Structure 1
Amino acid sequence: MTAPAQAGATSPARRRRRPSPGQVVTVAGLAVLGGLWVYPFVWLVSASLKTSPEIFGRGLNLLPGEPVWENYARAWTEVGFASYFVNTLVITAGTVLLVVVRSALAGYVLGRYDFVGKKLLIGLFLVTFFLPEGYTIIPITQLTDQLGLLNTHTGVILGLGAGGQIASTLLYAGYFRRLPKELEETARLDGAGHFTVFFRVMLPLAWPITATVVILTYLFAWNVYLLPLVFTLSEPDLRTLAVGMTVFVGERGTDWSGMAAAAVISLIPVMAVFVALQRKFVDSLAGAVKQ
């Protein structure tokens, strides 16, 4: 009697573990969508290992006849992507640091203090949020040129990070607005000043927003094209990876295999950061929403 009873007890659990037809269809559909999403990147990697005639001659075939690893060597050394990579790292790091500090400071003031014209200022922020980048590139270029920083890393960092950054500022403002005032009062009773309260008490508590701003700003600064292009027209050595792609387009044709290899080099850091921080990014967004 024991064996049949045990079999009878386990059979309902086994039946419950079987996926329903709807679940099977859902998983199959998601698998197809995932394959379609991944396919362009896989094709790009495949194209980076082919010759330019082979890219178009073999159509959608992902397997190269013979891998041409020289495409990566040509992009990294001959074209100059090694220096472009360093330029992009410097500009991205500087932009992320500048955006976090200034957006957090501005958000702290908007979230914790009341002053005349505050609502009007927030309204102007929201209006400028919808302005395309092309509308602001001319005044930013003129201002940077007057400061003597047009063809420098510092100029590009200021151009990218010293703008409105409305989304980051409002994220910080909304978070700081919800923090209890007792935190500031306790710190001031201990003799802390405004900047001490901000950097030692308030900013560490805003880690969910900081993580979100860091990741989004990193992706933006790494992939931005227009402003670095304008700022480095007369200084090719200061180009970023995104701008450096134009090197493969010449008067006599386009080096498609070299461009594909360079694109893979540009995407590797982005993919690495995404894989490493995807869970923290989701957690930071969830924490920001809960607050």
Structure 2
Amino acid sequence: MTATLDTVAVTTGKRRRELPTRRRPRTTGGGIAASVFLWIYAFIAIAPLLLMVSNSLRTMPDMAANPLGLPLPPNFASYQKAWVTASFETYFLNSIMVTVGSVLLSTAVSLLAAYAFARTRSRMFTALEGVFLSGLMLPVYLAILPLFYLLDSAGMTSNLLSLILVYGALGIPFSTFVLSSFFRQLPIELDEAARLDGAGSFTTFWRVHLPLVRPAIATVIVFRFVPVWNDFFYPLILIRDQTKYTLPVGITRFFGEYQTDWATLFAGLTLATIPLVVLFLIATKQIVSGLTAGMSK
């Protein structure tokens, strides 16, 4: 009996030792080169931002003496000057209102349109979807002249609502294209199960499909937020009142004809960059899920 137990123990020990162990993937030369390249690219991309933040914490004499120096000690007077004296607070709030309003408008309309296009099979909806997507092929700046005359005749120039409507309309084709692709990936069995439970079309959309396309919604919001926040063209053409300027147009007032307060300018640019950084940090996980959806089964 003892010999049998010893044999089993030895055999079990051998089997345990023979079990395959998980090996770490070997790092090849190509992987090392790709990592080095990505780190170099990241440094090149971040270096201008770090220089901008550093110079925003310095004084003009210090910057003139040593343009690449460090802010020792840091000086926050330029931020106060940009926020209060240079009316940066007004421009910032205008940009928030225009960007958030236009993104919410385009996303809401695109969600309803994309759901209808993805779940309805008819020639009329197919043709209508082609009309929606044709907006991706048209240069938006070619429509500025008739758009300006239209808004001017309606008395909507120098009005933030005009910018919200214009940006919202311009974002619908792209948002509809992305969201309809995600809705088509959802199985039709979800709709059938919802109908068996007595849910209507809107209830199925709101409670079943909408939570499943959150990565796509986050992707659409970020990809529309950034160009609207940074756009310079439409506010310059459609807005005449300086109190209604958005950030890209308002920051141009920091440039002087003979002299420019670079510290205040860099402080304004830093404040304008903060919302974009915060948005990417919050939505990074959803963006990656949205961009990689459907790549693996």
Q: If the length of structure 1 is used for normalisation, what is the TM-score?
A: 0.81
Equivalent position amino acid for 1:256 in 2: W
Secondary structure of the residue that 1:254 maps to in structure 2?
coil
Query: Which residue number corresponds to residue 37 of structure 2?
Result: 29
Query: Which residue number corresponds to residue 38 of structure 1?
Result: 46
The one-character-per-residue Cα deviations of 1:173-216 (angstroms, maximum 9, x if unpaired) are: 12222333343344445554443333333323322211211222
Equivalent position amino acid for 2:52 in 1: L
- When the two structures are aligned, how many residues end up with a matched partner? 277
**Does residue 145 of structure 1 match 2:152?**
yes
CA distance in 2, matches of 1:288, 1:208: 12
Query: Which residue number corresponds to residue 108 of structure 1?
Result: 115
Q: 2:106 aligns with which of 99, 102, 112?
A: 99
Query: Which residue number corresponds to residue 266 of structure 2?
Result: 260
Q: Provide the alpha-carbon RMSD of the alignment.
A: 3.1
**Does residue 156 of structure 1 match 2:176?**
no
Query: Which residue number corresponds to residue 203 of structure 2?
Result: 196
Instruction: Give, in angstroms, the shift of residue 26 of structure 1.
Output: 4.3
* 8 Å Cα contact 2:78/2:267 also seen in 1: yes
Query: Which residue number corresponds to residue 50 of structure 1?
Result: 58
* 8 Å Cα contact 1:45/1:264 also seen in 2: yes
Query: Which residue number corresponds to residue 291 of structure 2?
Result: 285
* 8 Å Cα contact 1:125/1:164 also seen in 2: no
Instruction: Give, in angstroms, the shift of residue 28 of structure 1.
Output: 3.5
Equivalent position amino acid for 1:170 in 2: F
CA distance in 2, matches of 1:288, 1:20: 28
* 8 Å Cα contact 2:57/2:76 also seen in 1: yes
In structure 2, list runs of 5 or more residues that go unmatched: 1-16
Change (3 A) 1:158 1:185: same
* 8 Å Cα contact 1:88/1:241 also seen in 2: yes
Q: 2:76 aligns with which of 69, 92, 100?
A: 69
Q: How many percent identity over aligned positions? A: 35
Query: Which residue number corresponds to residue 246 of structure 1?
Result: 252
The one-character-per-residue Cα deviations of 1:25-82 (angstroms, maximum 9, x if unpaired) are: 54443332222111111111122233446545534x2424654421111100001111
CA distance in 2, matches of 1:139, 1:52: 45
Equivalent position amino acid for 1:261 in 2: A
CA distance in 1, matches of 2:256, 2:66: 24
Q: 2:88 aligns with which of 77, 81, 95?
A: 81
Secondary structure of the residue that 2:170 maps to in structure 1?
coil
CA distance in 1, matches of 2:291, 2:216: 8
Change (3 A) 1:18 1:44: same
Change (3 A) 1:288 1:218: farther
Tell me which moved more, 149-158 or 111-120.
Answer: 111-120
Query: Which residue number corresponds to residue 4 of structure 1?
Result: none
In structure 1, list runs of 5 or more residues that go unmatched: 1-8
Q: If the length of structure 2 is used for normalisation, what is the TM-score?
A: 0.79
